[in-house]
Structure 1
Amino acid sequence: MSEPAGAGRRSSDNPTGRTGDQFAGPARAARRKGPGMDNETLRKTLAAACFALAAVPLGASAQEACTRYTVQPGDSLSSISRSAYGDYNFQRIFSANRAAIGGNPNLIEKGTVLEIPCLDGQLAADAEVAEPAAPATAEVVEEAEPAVEVTAEAATEPAAPSVAPLEKISFITGDDYPPFADEQLAGGGIITQLVRTAMVRANSGADVSIAFVNDWGAHLDTLLPSGAFDATFPWSLPDCGNLGVLTAADAYRCTDFEHSESFYDIVDGYFAMKGSGLEDAKSFDAFLGKRICRPDGHSLAWLSSSGLSEPDITLVRPVTVAECFSALAAGTVDVVHIEVQVAAEALDALRLKNDAIENPNLAHIKTLRVFVHKKNPNAGEIIATINSGLAIMRQSGEWYDIVSAGLLEQARKVAPKS
């Protein structure tokens, strides 16, 4: 685990692997102002919408993707994704079936019915949904509230102190974490759009700003503790109930920050070269003695919780995800441990999509959240506001609309060129 200059006792893991040493001088920020859903709620679109994007070469026809599928013996989410879309990236299926699958993407029971999203990320409607009947226009007579006697004692009781509404909330995120956060992506990436929209839906009245500062390590180590910004995203939260097995940097995330509800559950996978035997290993014991690549700054919580720590493994920590996969192809590492969605673009750029295979049996689910430092006097109110807006979005279906659009943007980018 690298430690940015001045980090002292700890180093904040960052999702891109960039460290403070690479960003000499003041961090440059481009400020921008802005703004477990159940499947029944999501079933609101027509199957015809899938055919509009049938020309996008994703490896399967819209009819194959835009349907329901009953899990058969021997199926895995990876194999189902391969059949539907031509790749092993099962995140879109997992996101659409979170309630049915549960917390472990490796365990899907035979007979489970899965929604296979259309190529545009929408879910097919298997039945017409009747429009709700208009409410009867009957006159409503409000009952008079009973009079309440106010005693002299109650009248003199001091009122509870009022909390001044937040006037401004400043968020910070960074680039090079597709499809979740990157200034070059539509709306700044999936999580950026979700956070911005959640603040609008919460109707807090606060002036919201979102800045991109690519020194990810500085977000948790200096920028939030110093009060330069109020909140940062997207950060994964380790198992805070088991601090004893966490690194200092991971424990710091638990002890020094308030956390929002999960904006997105992501699969952290293990990739190995086809034919190595590691691509279909059934136990983490198969990785003991191996060289595992995890980009510098990414959390080690899931490795350590699986019994994969030095000296039982050799940990290789380059700066970028691409360097990990280049090393895998060159045979200088045996396994790459990285988020499935983040891996997709690196594999596409390196033309390794058919050679570096995600292990379908071993994976972790982690949650991407907003963090606010506990020193912030408004920490509780900020988190409550964010959670309120997120709940509204999940209930209305807006969360799924934003997520599916972001995944579609990435799918188009990494689609095979015809």
Structure 2
Amino acid sequence: MVASDAAAQVPCEPYIIQSGDTLRGITERAYGNGNFRPIFEANRNVIGFDPNVIEVGDVIDLPCSNTGTAASTVVIEATPPQPAPERVTEAPEPEPEPETTIAALVPEEPEPEIDLSGPADVRFVTYDGNAPYSGANLPNGGLATELLETAYGRIAPDAEVDTTLVTDNFAFLMAMGSEAYDVGFPSIRPNCNVIETLAVEMIELCAKYAFSEPFHEIRMTAWALNGNSFAGASEPAELSSARICRPEDLFTFDLEADRLPGRGGALVSRPDNGGCFNALLAGEVDLISMPFTDARDIITERGLSAQVAPVPALERGVTLHAVANQSNPDGVRAISRLNRGLEQMRGDGQWFSIVSRQLAAR
């Protein structure tokens, strides 16, 4: 079958990646929604482990439907550390289910018209030690810093951009709360449509801040020991009694949205990713949940691929954004400029160039 051209993303047919494409954009054109996870799952042998990075000229298969989220089996190998699922060209339609497994990927509301005639100078704030997104020792300040400074400069080339790097995430939150800055990054965006499930700080985030369009995604995965009753679980409800380890300072809103942990379960924290793995191996927790790249690195370094198994029920994408206090008109205008700059960068390939270079530098 001949791959569809750039103007025709057709379900059940192959498609050739074009300059400026994103999985989300392809999904919206082919299916009318932003749930790109089924395309990603069907093409991991082409795309690799990061849905943010797709290569121009690659041919991917568009599933016949994306109404459900396919459970995946992720294999961690020393070389190369990429899974190789079967390619699907004429797969039968899965049973439809609510698109709630990727809460942060609800399509954005259309951006209202904003007067951009005000001051263009902007005060950014981010924090150190947050590789690959921000840090004093990262190339050009990190992936998020380079992307957002570049995007802003595309729209306001004569503006003075002042980026402050504070010491850690706590100092970042304090800085944003003080309204001393116009825009902060990176920030996650919880699913504000299910606010009743969110912790107080997440409700405040929804109510207080304006969010940019997503500039990157964190792929979250979970792992259990082989033979554990939770290994292979496909629904969050199956994990209600699990002891779940998340590294300290990592968000938990996605677990809260799934009402986890439930009765009989527990949320356990450790200082870092390695600490969660230690707790899993010692039987102190039933499963661990953390970004895929972090888990992959530890599994590969320690040779644990035969000892752990994925837990598909907690695999989801969490998008990263810049934020501005809604009471700060300069910050809200800056968010609008960032959105326009990011759109241009995706269209001409500069976004892809920066992301792929930054990730390769890790």
Q: Which amino acid aligns with 1:301?
A: F
Q: CA deviation at 1:240?
A: 0.8
Q: Is residue 41 from structure 1 mapped to residue 5 from structure 2 by the alignment?
A: no
Corresponding residue number in structure 2 for 1:206: 159
Q: Secondary structure at the match of 2:346?
A: helix
Q: CA deviation at 1:398?
A: 1.1
Distance (Å, rounded) in 1 between the aligned partners of 2:307 and 2:243: 18
1:175–1:214 contact (8 Å) kept in structure 2: yes
1:297-376 to structure 2, matched below 5 A, reads: 297-348=249-300, 350-352=302-304, 355-360=307-312, 362-376=314-328
Q: Is residue 269 from structure 1 mapped to residue 221 from structure 2 by the alignment?
A: yes
Q: CA deviation at 1:292?
A: 0.1
1:279–1:357 contact (8 Å) kept in structure 2: yes
Give the direction of change, closer, same or farther, for the CA distance of 1:329–1:395 in structure 2 (3 Å limit): same
Q: Which amino acid aligns with 1:315?
A: L
| Aligned length, in residue pairs | 288
Distance (Å, rounded) in 1 between the aligned partners of 2:116 and 2:225: 60
Corresponding residue number in structure 2 for 1:59: none
Q: CA deviation at 1:315?
A: 0.6
Identical columns (%): 25
1:401-412 to structure 2, matched below 5 A, reads: 401-410=353-362
1:13-412 to structure 2, matched below 5 A, reads: 39-41=17-19, 81=44, 90-93=48-51, 95-96=53-54, 106=70, 110-111=88-89, 163-167=117-121, 169-220=122-173, 222-348=174-300, 350-352=302-304, 355-360=307-312, 362-410=314-362
Give the direction of change, closer, same or farther, for the CA distance of 1:174–1:92 in structure 2 (3 Å limit): same
Q: Secondary structure at the match of 1:218?
A: helix
Q: Which amino acid aligns with 2:159?
A: A
TM-score (norm 2): 0.68
Distance (Å, rounded) in 2 between the aligned partners of 1:212 and 1:344: 28
Q: CA deviation at 1:185?
A: 2.8
Give the direction of change, closer, same or farther, for the CA distance of 1:345–1:184 in structure 2 (3 Å limit): farther
Distance (Å, rounded) in 2 between the aligned partners of 1:103 and 1:171: 38
2:61–2:88 contact (8 Å) kept in structure 1: no
1:202–1:388 contact (8 Å) kept in structure 2: yes
Unpaired stretches in structure 1, ≥5 consecutive residues: 1-37, 44-74, 114-160, 411-418
Distance (Å, rounded) in 2 between the aligned partners of 1:373 and 1:254: 11
Q: CA deviation at 1:203?
A: 2.7
Distance (Å, rounded) in 2 between the aligned partners of 1:345 and 1:353: 11
Q: CA deviation at 1:391?
A: 0.7
Distance (Å, rounded) in 2 between the aligned partners of 1:213 and 1:288: 37
2:280–2:286 contact (8 Å) kept in structure 1: yes
Distance (Å, rounded) in 2 between the aligned partners of 1:104 and 1:91: 20
2:242–2:265 contact (8 Å) kept in structure 1: yes
Q: CA deviation at 1:105?
A: 6.1
Q: Secondary structure at the match of 1:40?
A: coil
Corresponding residue number in structure 1 for 2:81: none
Distance (Å, rounded) in 2 between the aligned partners of 1:294 and 1:242: 22
Distance (Å, rounded) in 1 between the aligned partners of 2:116 and 2:18: 40
Q: Secondary structure at the match of 2:180?
A: coil
Unpaired stretches in structure 2, ≥5 consecutive residues: 1-15, 22-37, 73-86, 92-114
TM-score (norm 1): 0.60
Q: Which amino acid aligns with 1:110?
A: V
1:173–1:234 contact (8 Å) kept in structure 2: yes
Corresponding residue number in structure 2 for 1:130: none
Distance (Å, rounded) in 2 between the aligned partners of 1:162 and 1:197: 18
1:225–1:375 contact (8 Å) kept in structure 2: no
Give CA deviations for 1:98-123 in whole Å, capped at 9, x if unaligned: 9958697636993179xxxxxxxxxx
Q: Which amino acid aligns with 1:210?
A: T
Q: Which has the higher contact order (CA 8 A, sep 6+)?
A: 1
